[in-house]
Every structure is written in C-alpha cells, then in structure tokens.
Amino acid sequence: MWKLRKNQKEELIDFILFLPVMFLPLSYLIGIIVLFLFSLGWIFIGNYKDNPRSVLLGTVAFLASTFTVYIQYAWDALYRSLFFFIGGILLFVISFYIEKQRRKLVNESTRSEKE
C-alpha cells in the first residue's frame, strides 16, 4: 500500500506476481502470461515516465520469462543443435532491439539534460 500512499498507482503492476495462479486450471500457462504482463508493464511504465531503470527492469524480466518459456517448451520439441541455433538467433535479435532502445533513451536523456 506504500505505492498507493506515494501516488504511484501505475506501479501496482508489481503485485501481479503475487496472484495465486497455482490453484487455477492451466496454471503453467497463466503463470507464463503473468510473467509477460509484468515485464511488458514495466517496459510501458518506463517509456511513459522516460525512466531507463524501469525499462531495464522490464527488459530483464522479459528476457528471463522468454528464456524460461523457450527452455521449457523447445527443449523437448527440437533437436539439440536446432535448439541452440534458434536460441542464439533469438538472443541476437532481442539484444539488437534492446541496444537500439537503450541508445535512444540515453540520447533523449542527455539531450534533455543539455537544455
């Protein structure tokens, strides 16, 4: 309730992680969706507030949840060499996009500090 007192209502996305999804049917799928909602929520909050730390938190959470889902489902379905090849390409594409966004945020923040 500290976030409500500090008038940080958009940051209540943190409490989505405390939903008791393990008692619901298809709990593994709902848990994955909750992790993605948490990470995307922090990315959107960071972009809305122009806060690179929030974007970084959302990005790390997104990468961790994507990596977890990839390991859980692709390990059994793919051949091992194809698994690592696709994983490497996926990580490269994600890191390219994240670096592009980071540079954009840094340039915008340094430009606003100069003004």
Q: Per residue in 79-113, pLDDT tens?
A: 777 777 887 888 888 888 888 888 888 888 777 77
* Domains in the chain: boundaries: 23-109
* Residues 101 and 55: beta-carbon distance below 8 Å: yes
Query: Does the pLDDT of residue 5 top 70, yes or no?
Result: no
Residue 3 pLDDT grade (very low, low, confident, very high; cuts 50, 70, 90)? low
Tens-place pLDDT, residues 11-56: 666 666 666 666 677 777 787 888 888 888 888 888 888 888 888 8
